[in-house]
A and B are shown apart, each in its own frame.
Chain A
Amino acid sequence: MAAIKAYRRYAPGTQPPYLHPPYVSSAKRAPSRPPIYLPHTLSEITGPVLGAEFCDLKASDLTRQHSGEPLGERIIVSGRVMDEDGCPLRDTLIEIWQANSAGRYLHNNDQHNAPLDPNFTGCGHTLTDSEGRYRFVTIRPGQYPWTNSHNAWRAAHIHLSVFGPAFATRLVTQMFFPGDPLIPFDPIFNCTADEAARNRLISKLDWDTTIPLEALGYRFDIVLSGRESTPIETPSHSHKAQT
């Protein structure tokens, strides 16, 4: 018998509810029934392996994708991807997307009356290294208004998508910037009940990665679900007669 080690469930309050009325778009898209508890099987503890062949190493620098340099404050966003036990998660794909320095996305549905930047697409990706580290060079995204409610503005943020080792560890989140005065008013940031969990979405100014005369560093560590310590027994190839 091979043992399946399930992934841990999220700690109560540390994840957003599906329905969060201040985020108006959740009203018609949040399921009305509670999700059914699914014990993890082979389908959940495995997941897409998207390694180097899915990755362009140059894609981690969002300031070098065009003939000229994008406008705005150049920044370094870096950190580590770990599990809840602090073990680094290597070779994990991270995809990011963001608005330009004027707060405008390169997307047909972004109607914000702010200029596009011909030298900024706002997308990047990278793989974590053997110690779970990642690093992007980009520009600080602008804040922008949205139609959620009267005079609603989003705090500056960068979207991140992380796969991790399993279907169960998938994460899509947003990284915020320290001291942004819009954070207390941002209903997406504030959707999570646990204040400490929420505040971990705010990156930290990081002198260690700041390049003098070039770019400020912001550190953002990402934690994916860890493993349960007790294995669930499950059949392996030694029992293939049962198939």
Chain B
Amino acid sequence: MTLQATTWQTVGPFFSIGLCRLYRDNLAGPGVAGERVEINGRILDGDGKPVPDGVIEIWQANSQGKYAHPEDVQDKPLEKEFTGFGRIATDIDGYFRFSTIKPGRVPGPVGPNGKANLQAPHLAISILTRGLLRRLVTRMYFPDDPSNAEDFVLSLVEESRRSTLIAKKVEGRAGSLEWDVVLQGANETVFFEL
């Protein structure tokens, strides 16, 4: 190693000037296979106030559990129309909303038995807001998925906080999920260090 990674700086309050071109709140067009989901949520600060100047970025696999990336060498089909990338700004009340498909399971680390430990379906998420000097990294998992119980990343999180990573079903609205991001405080979302 001869160089050191460049230092992060905040996106500040005016990021939409540069980032709005790639806002993508519908990750999966009509031809993309998989279970459709719509996710609604809010970013909230340490006082429970909405964060109106934030943006979230999504990275996810397709419904087969395959990433549209050269380093995913799994023998699974890709879909040309599905990049797995989303970027959504919060509105004036801190709300974000996006539509996608539930991703399939992707490989995690090899377990002690030498076998594949598949991860539970999840979205990899970056949170960028004014006031955040660098991004926050989190994940969103899906409710009532039996594989959550054996997910290696969820198992790194103390049980009382795991629910912050799992979206909630909206009663009476099939495919509709809710997932809030709490930056600070008692119900603080679990964030990860990469």
Contacts and interface: CB of A to CB of B under 8 A. Distances in A.
Interface residues of A, number: 95
Given A35-B193, A224-B5, A50 B16 contact: no
Interface string A14-47: 1111101001011111111111111111111111
B72 A97 contact: no
Contact of A243 (B10, B118, B188): B118
A215 interface: no
Contacts of B192: 35-38
A177 B6 CA distance: 16
Given A14-B7, A16-B7, A109 B14 contact: yes
Nearest to B16: A107
Contact of A86 (B3, B18, B49): B3
Among B53, B74, B128, find the residue whose CB has the most chain A CB atoms closer than 10 A: B74
Contacts of A76: none
Interface stretch (A67-75, A126-134, A205-213, A234-242): A234-242
Contact of A236 (B2, B73, B190): B73
A31 B4 contact: no
Contacts of A29: 45-46, 51, 129-132, 183-184
A9 B137 CA distance: 14
Secondary structure of the A side of the interface?
loop
A58 B38 CA distance: 35
Given A42-B107, A97-B14, A85 B21 contact: no
Secondary structure of the B side of the interface?
loop
B67 A46 contact: yes
A171 B4 CA distance: 13
Interface string A186-201: 0011011010011011
Contacts of A165: 71
A188 B116 contact: no
Interface in B174-194: 183-185, 188-194
A159 B18 contact: yes
B170 interface: no
Among B21, B130, B133, B157, find the residue whose CB has the most chain A CB atoms closer than 10 A: B133
A106 interface: yes
B167 to A, nearest CB: 17
B6 A201 contact: yes
B107 A25 contact: no
B68 interface: yes
A2 to B, nearest CB: 6
Contacts of A226: 1, 3, 5
Contacts of B7: 14-16, 173, 192, 194, 197-198, 200-201
Contacts of A173: 6-9
Contact of A16 (B51, B68, B134): B134
B136 A159 contact: no
Interface of A: 1-2, 7-11, 14-18, 20, 23, 25-50, 54, 82-86, 95-97, 105-107, 109-110, 121-125, 157, 159, 161, 165-168, 170-174, 188-189, 191-192, 194, 197-198, 200-201, 222-226, 232-237, 239-240, 242-243
20 contacts: A11-B5, A14-B4, A16-B134, A18-B133, A29-B45, A41-B152, A41-B153, A44-B124, A44-B194, A47-B59, A109-B13, A125-B18, A159-B12, A167-B59, A191-B9, A201-B6, A234-B107, A239-B115, A239-B116, A242-B116
Those 7 A-B pairs whose CB atoms lie nearest each other, nearest first: A97-B18, A25-B131, A237-B75, A46-B69, A235-B116, A16-B133, A48-B85
